[in-house]
Chains A and B, each alone.
Chain A
Amino acid sequence: MVGITSYGAYIPWYRLNRKIIFEQFGWFNPATAGVAVGEKAVANYDEDTLTMAVSAAVDCLTNEDRDSLYGLFLASTSLPFAERQNSVIVSEALDLDSGIRTADFSGSIRSGTSALLCALDGVKNKRRILVCAGDNRMGKPGSSQEHTFGDGAAALLVGNEGVIAAFKGGYSVSRDFIDHRRTSMDKFGYGWEERWIRDEGYAKIIPEAALGLIQKYHLNVGDFAKIVIACPVAGALKGLVKTLGASPDQIQDNLMADVGDTGTAMPLMMLVAALEDAKPGDKILVLSYGSGSDALFFEATDEIKNVQKERKGIKGHLAERNDLPVYSKYLVFRNMIPLDVGIRGEDISPTAMSVLWREGKCVSALVGSKCQACGTPQYPPQRVCVNPDCGVIDHMEDFRFSDKIGTLTSYTGDNLAFSWDPPQIYGLVDFKEGGRLFLDLTDCSLDTINVGMPVSMRFRRKYSDPQRGFFGYFWKAVPFK
């Protein structure tokens, strides 16, 4: 049996009430009043598709063996690098073996389900493949996409052992329906009339895939406990439910009210939400959209209960939220307006690729060393043991800090250091197993942290160097929840 063996999700901590957007740009585009309801998840200034994908993958790999994964596929239309494989950055952040097969899937918001289908097709001989999908697309200020687009990621582990949702079949439709497009030169996309997209796109292409699958596998729409329809447009979704002949309680919530249209991640995040509530035997239909449509048919197994308890998933992340109260912060976080960053913000020294390569998983996966003589973990990896009572030379083994819980021994909120969200908060983190690190803190405010509080590690963008086209990634501490 081939299918999903684990799931995980990630939703950024910041949520922007769409009323705040409308207050700023409703005067320009009053028609956006219709979409200016609810809130959307907004990636923090140090988050992007890669960091969100890593967080979702970490959730998915909770209590799972990280060794011997066969592949890691990453799907997104907002990949930070056009050249330099993005999926391998995720793989290395997770400290996965270099013998892994990595691949980026992009070009359409359907690429999330395409990657999942490729992974499912590739499972045999106990192969396990991790599929991550994430997007943080930007809508132009004043556009309806500014309201609808939200940020998030999902991760699914597929294999043929410990399957929690068996893959029963798929049906794909590929069509060059140009509802929305973006060239390599564009920061923002360009769309055609919304009514045409509703009537000729969603209303016709999704049913083509859905009914194709239903006929192929001799099913009835009523057989499904849940139907995931990755359609962010309320009116179009309503029409689709009618066209498919489904009842409203079969339809999985599309997360538009509290997360937004997460593009590539949307069908997979909705699937994760469906799996969180699935009972053994439940049939789930997943319908994605974008340059066609993929239909995927799953059936939950008895093993699903084991995973449901251990994942933060959609529900857990929805509960961890913080208001982003100021629209200008949103513009700054998404790099949409020039900001007077001053001399400290301008001063970006070049990144030495030779150093980054040599440092390897020390930087990418927060791997330090542990002294084989005295057992002291230390970061960065040392040749001479840092324990003043030991000092043994060249007796070290790898020690991964990224999955450990630390304690905040000290911290400050620095108003002098440059930050996109001042003050820059950083501190000293001590680990129960031993070892300590100075780390930036993120997803917190100065008045909510204190000495002695537990923190966990998050993969984040540490700096960007627009002049030389580079994003530097590292790990930060967040209050442990």
Chain B
Amino acid sequence: MAKGIKNEVAIIGMGCTKFGELWQKSASDLIVDAYLEAVEDAGIDKNDIDAAWFGTCFDEVNVGKSGLTLSKALKLPFIPVTRVENFCTSGTESFRGACYAVASGSCDIALALGVEKLKDTGYGGLPDFGNLLGLENRSTFPNMTAPGGFAMMATTYFAKYGLSPEAGKRALAHVSSKSHHNGTLHPKAHLRKEISIEKVMKAPIIAWPLGLFDCCGVSDGAACAVVCRADMAKNFRVDPIYVKSLQIAVTSGEEMAHQRWDCAHVETTCRAGINAYKEAGITHPREEIGMMELHDCFSITEFVTYEDLQISPRGRARDDVESGFFDLDGKIPCQTDGGLKCFGHPIGASGLRMIYEVYKQLQGRADRRQIRNPRLGLTHNLGGFPCMSVASVGIFGNEL
């Protein structure tokens, strides 16, 4: 494996808008809001930025293709701007582009910004995928929605590990209920309401066995990061956050077409996790990771990710979940800002929003959500469906 970019790049500023149904804000408004917070936090202006990466998923609705949406909104001075898209990892992909540019030496300071305006699509939930997966998909693939695609993983997980639907749904309900609590503590979160385990379990079914509260918020929002060479980070602030690893794994297609995949885990998350731990030099993730922002698009996704990232043993996530291991006061707090579940999920912004929370926690600036002395934080995105996915894992630390 290549040497990687551990400790080569530092985050010196971040911004994040409030997430939610932002009927009054355009994508450009959100871009400007997230950007302003980030450059003020970093203490730079746009002439300091060498290049920018822009993440957005549903270009067809509202946001548009290419890097122009970002450069025009910010009036960036004819610098390179690249738009990236990789389903729900789009935000992390933009961050990866900026980090690689800095690590390569071609930029001193780079900007990553992700935005999504889902609430202008007219859909409750994500827009239909239609031809999103290519023209061929149309004639052969089921009319699968995101909740349906992930619900199948819960069906098979329950069957594989002998959980009754009641027991399985209860364990998943704990995941969502925990995030709802954390979400109440963040002023920028989309959904800020305590939801009990009983209420999660009794909610209307969206895609069996997942109910309404097993599904994340569908939101508008933007988030932004300013990164620079690690060796110059202290020129900007006393508490820069260092990138320890950034890994992406994209499916080979075997889960969909070869029976090796058991439909009860996400292979790309496993692979990205292994590589990320290697790059960061982590050998005992359960002991070393201080907090996690996981891609909890659905409760089952967060649930299997505990296992896929080697935090919980295979088939045993339920024990950790129900013992409070991932609660705000647990051993590895997860979704301390509410996660996708409650902070919301404007797709292109989500990866950067997770990094935003890890950044704040590692700096000790997380207000009422602040956990005790975290050293390493992990972010995880999962795009596509469990059967054909792209996963990203980022690890960040407050020390070199």
Contacts and interface: CB of A to CB of B under 8 A. Distances in A.
Interface of A: 343-344, 347, 349, 351-352, 355-356, 359, 362-363, 376, 378-380, 382, 386-388, 409-419, 423-424, 426-428, 430, 434-436, 438-440, 446, 450-452, 462-463, 472, 474
A416 B204 CA distance: 11
A355 B159 CA distance: 38
Given A413-B205, A417-B143, A474-B140, A387 B155 contact: no
Interface stretch (B44-52, B120-128, B182-190, B240-248): B120-128
B282 interface: no
Given A386-B258, A414-B144, 14 more contacts: A347-B130, A351-B139, A355-B139, A386-B253, A386-B257, A387-B258, A410-B152, A412-B207, A412-B208, A413-B205, A424-B142, A427-B152, A428-B263, A438-B387
25 contacts: A343-B128, A344-B128, A351-B139, A378-B257, A378-B258, A386-B252, A386-B254, A386-B258, A410-B263, A414-B208, A416-B148, A416-B206, A417-B142, A417-B144, A417-B207, A423-B205, A423-B207, A427-B155, A430-B259, A438-B387, A451-B156, A451-B159, A452-B159, A462-B139, A474-B140
Contacts of B139: 351, 355-356, 359, 363, 462, 472, 474
Contacts of A382: 257
Top 7 nearest A-B pairs (CB, nearest first) are: A414-B148, A426-B142, A412-B151, A451-B159, A410-B152, A410-B156, A414-B207
Contacts of A417: 142-145, 148, 207
Interface in B172-206: 204-206
B254 A411 contact: no
Contacts of A462: 139
B140 A363 contact: yes
Q: Which of B136, B140, B204 has the most CB of A within 10 A?
A: B140
* Dominant SS among interface residues on chain A: mixed
Contacts of B131: 349
B27 to A, nearest CB: 20
A260 to B, nearest CB: 30
B3 interface: no
A424 B143 contact: yes
A430 to B, nearest CB: 5
Given A414-B147, A415-B205, A359 B136 contact: yes
Nearest to A435: B257
B166 to A, nearest CB: 15
A388 B258 contact: yes
Interface string B217-259: 0000000000000000000000000000000000011101111
Contacts of A410: 152-153, 155-156, 263
Interface of B: 122-123, 125, 128, 130-131, 135-136, 138-145, 147-148, 151-153, 155-156, 159, 204-210, 252-254, 256-260, 263, 387
A5 B131 CA distance: 45
B259 A440 contact: no
Contacts of B209: 412
B145 A413 contact: no
B256 A347 contact: no
Contact of B144 (A349, A426, A451): A426
Contact of B140 (A351, A380, A388): A380
B256 A412 contact: no
Contacts of A434: 259
A240 to B, nearest CB: 47
B127 to A, nearest CB: 8
Contacts of B254: 386-388
Given A413-B208, A416-B207, A438 B256 contact: yes
B382 to A, nearest CB: 17
B263 A412 contact: no
Contacts of B125: 416
B145 A414 contact: yes
Contacts of A380: 136, 140
Contacts of B204: 415
B11 to A, nearest CB: 36
Given A387-B258, A413-B207, A440-B142, A355 B135 contact: yes
Contacts of B155: 410-412, 427, 451
A428 B260 CA distance: 13
Contacts of B147: 414, 416
A349 B151 contact: no
Contacts of A463: 143
Nearest to A452: B159
Contacts of A344: 123, 128
A436 B141 CA distance: 12
B207 A428 contact: no
Contacts of A472: 138-139
Nearest to B215: A416
Contacts of A430: 259
B397 to A, nearest CB: 33
B143 A412 contact: no
Nearest to B139: A363
Nearest to B157: A410
Contacts of B263: 409-410, 428
Given A343-B122, A376-B258, A439 B207 contact: no
B143 A416 contact: no
Nearest to B125: A416
A453 to B, nearest CB: 11
Contacts of A474: 139-140
B44 to A, nearest CB: 42
Nearest to A377: B257
A376 B260 CA distance: 12
A64 B206 CA distance: 44
Contacts of A388: 252, 254, 258, 260
A97 B204 CA distance: 49
A225 to B, nearest CB: 47
Given A349-B131, A413-B207, A436 B259 contact: yes
Contacts of B142: 417, 424, 426, 438-440
Please indicate which of the listed interface residues A347, A382, A414, A440 has the most CB atoms of chain B within 10 Å of its own CB: A414
A343 B123 CA distance: 7
Nearest to A434: B259
Contacts of A451: 155-156, 159
A296 B136 CA distance: 46
